[in-house]
Structure 1
Amino acid sequence: MGERDAETGSPMTHDSIFRIASMTKPIASVALMMMYEEGHFQLRDPISKWLPEFADRRVAIPSPPQERVTGRYKTIPAEGSITVQQILTHTAGLANSYRGITQPEFLEMSAKTRPGDTVGDMLKRLATLPLNFQPGEHWEYGRATDIVGRLVEVMSGQTLDEFFKTRIFEPLDMTDTHFYLPESKVARFTALYRPDANGKIVQSEAPTADSRYVAEPHTYFSGAGGLVSTARDYFRFQQMMLNGGELDGTRLLSRKTVEMMTANHTGDKGIWLAGPGYGFGLGYAIVTDLGPAATPRSEGSYYWSGAFGTIFWVDPKEELIGIVLQQLRPYTHLNVRPDMASMTYQAIID
């Protein structure tokens, strides 16, 4: 449906390649849970066991209390260590680009990333910033899944790129999912768009070999948001999850680990990015209450989305997977994603 590149008129095809951004996070989370099944850690282990730069954290608090908006703060010792579970559930309190008292320092830190850097380099800088709240106190979106990916690297002895390729993509026959797109596949890469000041959709990145997804040094493997993929490949990954960890005779996880990943680990903490009626598991948002969630997806469904307008959901009750792939940022002025969910569920005939 649609065009891969509106400027050239190239049609969308079944093998068109999309920037999936934060839809990388569930893949990184599965990779870490594969390490869990191999006995490398327990969920309540401190991440400083593998990443010592995250030991002895401090927490920023407003100073004085009414100055939260200005970014002025003092720090106090963290009351506990950041755990693997908190990293997987976004409850560690890490500084981030979205909000929080340390947001200015995070943005300054992010600007220091240079070509050739690794995620490990970035995390060492992140570890110098105080936390926004005590570990486990709240839910807050950010770069936690980059720590997930880095833990996979340290535990496995492979780069995240190599682990994904050999342990997930090749076993699941995900042939077009990459951190950096080979030049031979650029012809299938989708263009990226944005709305201009008048609301007209205009191209912001052409699908060429000059794209950062092709041309940048192949060193920065972000578990938080670095992959490109196709509808087919991403469907195969989530079909593995819907099947309880197995696809076409290849098992990545046990059924019980999948159940643990897709349970609500955050209780009644507000998941502001998803909204009311949602909790959060190990790499996935979970529908916990249909009324507040205002969604036709069944309770127990799990999902996540990407910054360029992509989204997926898995509904075990209906044995259903939905995937919407578009390349538009920002995209919130359109209802493509909720409309697709509505159309999908109204088509179910019992």
Structure 2
Amino acid sequence: MASKAKHVRRLSLAAGIGVLAAAVAVVAGAPSDLPVMDGVPTAAADEVGMSAERLERLDRVMQAYVDRREVAGVVSLVARRGKVVHFSTFGSRDAEAGAPMTHDTIFRIASMTKPVASVALMMLYEEGHFQLRDPIAKWLPEFADMQVASVATYQELGRARFRTEQASQPITVQHLLTHTAGLPNTYRGITKPDFDAIGPQREPGDTLAAFVTRLSTLPLNFHPGERWEYGRATDVVGRLVEVMSGMRFDRFLQERIFGPLDMVDTHFYLPAAKLDRFAAQYRPREGGGLALTEAPSADSRFVREPHSYFSGAGGLVSTARDYFRFHQMMLNGGELDGVRILGRKTVDLMTLNHVGDHGIWLVGPGYGFGLGYAVVQD
């Protein structure tokens, strides 16, 4: 892996658009009547050097997405210099039930979980639990002596024979945080459905420990550090947090991040009392429009028992308000409202490019990848 970390302009994932299949949580926006919400300081656009006229265009864009049935609903929030200048809603939280989108709607935030998990691990870095170049087998011995799949051929559906070779180097903590560990989403020459037939799948009552152990039995897709591939590594990050801290991953996040930052609606499993604020989930329908994939009910995997698997790669639900607070902490250099989560130098380290010239296909040219974050290169 290229070790030179280039200086970059930070790209906060809170400043992007997160499409959550059912709806959209956008932490960006334009002026409107701002709701009064605890933990959300507000200002007029011109007070923070923004154009209210230009920001108003976002309302039209978001409403157009809803009108074209590309999304069911949107929450949009824009902040600058720590002040929210726009916080609006569009469309439906649950179209089938006729429930409108609200400012406090709770979304499945999918891969927006990854920065939270990465921050958790870097808190332990600051406490001296590891160095970035430490092999993860130091804590997870099942990842020692990993093999790499050089050729994969199928004998019959659901059975693969791999020609493998010894990995050129151990998987390090840095490899996990930068998505360069080689953990497979699929293999060259194998279709995604066929990979799913042999890959480790979530099972009822699973834990991070059990799933990560099964993941370690698969050959890597490439040698650690050889290239960049977005994938499952952040579930292993969550498991490292458990082993190093001695705490279950969800408890660590609640006690060390969510509680201190007053992120009151961020959970792995949604309390039943908040179900009436949970967004339905949709997918694009062939020919246009949206198809419901999961109603906001007690049968959702984000609600029902057992509450045992806490995915660092994509397991959280949250609100625009909570996610704004998390990333305002990062933009402030690791501190919010007098609560310090990370040191400023650690935030700077996380938002450097750690992958050299590896192509970041997820976002395109001009981007690198830091420790849990995509970054825009200067």
Tell me the TM-score normalised to structure 2 length.
Answer: 0.72
Hey, what does 1:137 align to over in structure 2? Answer: 226
Deviation at 1:71, TM superposition (A): 7.2
Structure 2: which 5+ residue stretches go unaligned?
1-88, 154-158
Deviation at 1:42, TM superposition (A): 0.1
Residues paired across the two proteins, number: 283
Deviation at 1:186, TM superposition (A): 0.1
SS, match of residue 214 in structure 1: coil
Distance 1:268-1:25 versus aligned 2 partners, 3 A rule: same
Instruction: Give the alignment partner of residue 242 of structure 1, picking from 320, 328, 331.
Output: 331
**Could you tell me which amino acid in structure 1 is paired with residue 228 of structure 2?**
W
SS, match of residue 223 in structure 2: coil
Deviation at 1:22, TM superposition (A): 0.5
Hey, what does 2:182 align to over in structure 1? Answer: 93
Moved beyond 3 Å, runs of 4+: 70-73, 99-106, 109-112
Tell me the TM-score normalised to structure 1 length.
Answer: 0.77
Answer whether contact 1:177 1:233 (CA < 8 A) is retained: yes
Deviation at 1:277, TM superposition (A): 1.2
Hey, what does 1:181 align to over in structure 2? Answer: 270
Aligned runs of 1:153-172 on 2, under 5 Å?
Answer: 153-172=242-261
**Could you tell me which amino acid in structure 2 is paired with residue 195 of structure 1?**
P
Aligned runs of 1:208-247 on 2, under 5 Å?
Answer: 208-247=297-336
In 1, Cα distance between equivalents of 2:199 and 2:246: 26
1:121 equivalent in alignment to 2:171? no
Q: Is the strand fraction higher in 1 or 2?
A: 2
**Could you tell me which amino acid in structure 2 is paired with residue 124 of structure 1?**
T
SS, match of residue 235 in structure 2: helix
In 2, Cα distance between equivalents of 1:191 and 1:13: 13
Deviation at 1:62, TM superposition (A): 2.4
Answer whether contact 1:22 1:225 (CA < 8 A) is retained: yes
Answer whether contact 1:88 1:282 (CA < 8 A) is retained: yes
SS, match of residue 4 in structure 1: strand
Hey, what does 2:343 align to over in structure 1? Answer: 254
Distance 1:138-1:15 versus aligned 2 partners, 3 A rule: same
In 2, Cα distance between equivalents of 1:85 and 1:111: 23
Aligned runs of 1:196-211 on 2, under 5 Å?
Answer: 196-211=285-300
Hey, what does 1:274 align to over in structure 2? Answer: 363
SS, match of residue 252 in structure 2: helix
After superposition, the CA RMSD in angstroms is 1.9
Structure 1: which 5+ residue stretches go unaligned?
65-69, 289-298, 300-350
In 1, Cα distance between equivalents of 2:312 and 2:140: 16
**Could you tell me which amino acid in structure 1 is paired with residue 263 of structure 2?**
M
Hey, what does 2:142 align to over in structure 1? Answer: 53
**Could you tell me which amino acid in structure 2 is paired with residue 120 of structure 1?**
A
* Percent of aligned pairs with the same amino acid: 68
Answer whether contact 1:71 1:104 (CA < 8 A) is retained: no
**Could you tell me which amino acid in structure 1 is paired with residue 204 of structure 2?**
P
SS, match of residue 209 in structure 2: helix
1:36 equivalent in alignment to 2:117? no
In 2, Cα distance between equivalents of 1:195 and 1:49: 44
Q: Which has the higher contact order (CA 8 A, sep 6+)?
A: 2
Deviation at 1:112, TM superposition (A): 4.3
Distance 1:78-1:105 versus aligned 2 partners, 3 A rule: farther
SS, match of residue 269 in structure 1: coil
Distance 1:274-1:203 versus aligned 2 partners, 3 A rule: same
Answer whether contact 2:200 2:215 (CA < 8 A) is retained: no
Deviation at 1:14, TM superposition (A): 1.3
**Could you tell me which amino acid in structure 2 is paired with residue 87 of structure 1?**
L
Instruction: Give the alignment partner of residue 283 of structure 2, picking from 173, 194, 206.
Output: 194
Distance 1:271-1:124 versus aligned 2 partners, 3 A rule: same
Deviation at 1:23, TM superposition (A): 0.3
Answer whether contact 2:152 2:189 (CA < 8 A) is retained: no
Distance 1:60-1:220 versus aligned 2 partners, 3 A rule: same
Deviation at 1:4, TM superposition (A): 0.8
Answer whether contact 2:281 2:294 (CA < 8 A) is retained: yes
Aligned runs of 1:323-334 on 2, under 5 Å?
Answer: none
Instruction: Give the alignment partner of residue 152 of structure 1, picking from 226, 241, 244.
Output: 241
Hey, what does 1:26 align to over in structure 2? Answer: 115
Distance 1:71-1:220 versus aligned 2 partners, 3 A rule: same
Hey, what does 1:345 align to over in structure 2? Answer: none
Q: Residues 56-88 of structure 1, C-alpha deviation per residue, up to 9 Å, x if partnerless?
A: 011111279xxxxx9764111111110000000
1:285 equivalent in alignment to 2:285? no
Answer whether contact 1:45 1:83 (CA < 8 A) is retained: yes
**Could you tell me which amino acid in structure 2 is paired with residue 49 of structure 1?**
K
Deviation at 1:280, TM superposition (A): 0.4
Hey, what does 1:320 align to over in structure 2? Answer: none
In 2, Cα distance between equivalents of 1:231 and 1:148: 24
1:81 equivalent in alignment to 2:170? yes
Answer whether contact 1:16 1:188 (CA < 8 A) is retained: yes
Deviation at 1:109, TM superposition (A): 4.3
